[in-house]
């Protein structure tokens, strides 16, 4: 069953402001409805869920000032994604949301090559009726983590929570911090990287720093200096795909163990090369872990904060790096 607030969340009506006139419809919907991405907005238009001045709309339409846009977000629907009894490490749960501690190797949502065995499959088994805003393949997903990134992930259980949390994420009121190891040494203990990120024009599986990319910023704080790598705290100001990995590679310090953005061959030479090779051998995957998550509860207004320790494989590699650096 869905309460009245959730039903109201699904029906939106907007009058186009002069400053919004001429904006392509799918982009405008993504701007007006915080929890809906541009691709999701385009899908809603194509599904007939958007009307412009009372008529069926095209996603390429460019409304004028004073035009009326009506958007209906469908309720959760039966999905072909199969619920699966996959163990979940739940740090927090109530009627509105969950905080999951995701292990490395678990894909967040179904995608080509990963139709099953995902976090969404597990959530559909655990939660009877997830928020429908994320679409058929991403119900409840407020933000995501890469497959080989572990740590804290926020999930909405109903549309009201999903809308509020997505708005908070866009307004940077959800704080997310990661622990990562990067090759080499930052020039200072604390830096802020601001560089736009977009899809690589030459490698479709990669993102890249591009002049035409979306604004992106990450703050890095060195926690420990190892022989040929730094242990860093990375805090996201924005949430682009692969953001931490792209920004660190962009400044010449790729994430240790990163198969996509790291160097094809370890470039560290001299007396530290053997140390670096050993650290790389100790790591089964990229050294990136979502360690901290804090936000305001969308219904109660309570401030919530969670921490996740490094998983055993990363903790063991860090301890070796720490011990082998002492006295050097």
Strands 217-225 and 229-236: antiparallel
Reduced to 3 DSSP states, what percent helix, strand and coil does the chain have, rounded to the nearest 5?
Answer: 25, 25, 50
List the alpha helices (DSSP H) in the chain.
4-10, 25-32, 38-46, 119-126, 159-170, 243-250, 273-282, 312-325
Separation CA 244–CA 240 (nearest Å): 9
Residue 99, strand partner residues:
92, 154
| Nearest to 102, CA basis, from 152, 177, 54, 172 | 152
85 included as an active-site residue: no
Catalytic residue among 146, 148, 230, 258: 146
Nearest to 73 by CA among 122, 169, 139: 139
Tokens for 106, please give them: 């678990």
CB atoms within 10 A of CB 202: 7
Angstrom distances, CA of residue 94 to CA of 134, 156, 157, 162, 296: 19, 10, 9, 14, 14
List Cβ neighbours of 8 (8 Å cut-off, separation of 6 or more): none
Q: Which residues are catalytic?
A: 146
């Amino acid at each position: 069953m869905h309460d009245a607030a959730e039903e109201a969340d699904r029906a939106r009506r907007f009058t186009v402001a002069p400053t919004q006139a001429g904006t392509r419809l799918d982009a405008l919907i993504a701007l007006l409805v915080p929890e809906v991405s541009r691709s999701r907005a385009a899908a809603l238009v194509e599904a007939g869920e958007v009307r412009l001045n009372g008529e069926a709309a095209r996603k390429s339409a460019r409304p004028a000032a004073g035009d009326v846009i009506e958007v209906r977000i469908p309720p959760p629907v039966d999905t072909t994604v199969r619920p699966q009894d996959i163990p979940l490490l739940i740090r927090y749960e109530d009627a509105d949301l969950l905080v999951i501690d995701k292990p490395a190797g678990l894909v967040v949502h179904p995608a080509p090559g990963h139709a099953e065995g995902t976090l969404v499959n597990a959530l559909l088994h655990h939660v009877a009726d997830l928020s429908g805003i994320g679409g058929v393949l991403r119900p409840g997903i407020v933000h995501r983590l890469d497959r080989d990134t572990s740590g804290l992930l926020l999930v909405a259980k109903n549309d009201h929570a999903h809308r509020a949390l997505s708005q908070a994420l866009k307004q940077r009121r959800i704080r997310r911090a990661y622990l990562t190891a990067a090759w080499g040494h930052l020039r200072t203990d604390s830096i802020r990287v601001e560089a736009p990120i977009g899809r690589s024009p030459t490698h479709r599986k990669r993102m890249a720093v591009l002049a035409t990319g979306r604004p992106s910023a990450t703050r890095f704080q060195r926690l420990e200096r190892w022989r040929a790598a730094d242990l860093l705290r990375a805090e996201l100001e924005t949430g682009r795909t692969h953001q931490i990995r792209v920004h660190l590679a962009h400044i010449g310090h790729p994430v240790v163990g990163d198969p996509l953005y790291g160097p094809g061959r370890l470039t560290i030479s001299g007396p530290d090369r053997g140390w670096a090779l050993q650290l790389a051998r100790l790591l089964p995957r990229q050294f990136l872990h979502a360690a901290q998550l804090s936000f305001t509860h969308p219904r109660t207004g309570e401030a919530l904060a969670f921490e996740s320790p490094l998983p055993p494989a990363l903790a063991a590699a860090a301890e070796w790096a720490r011990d082998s650096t002492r006295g050097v």
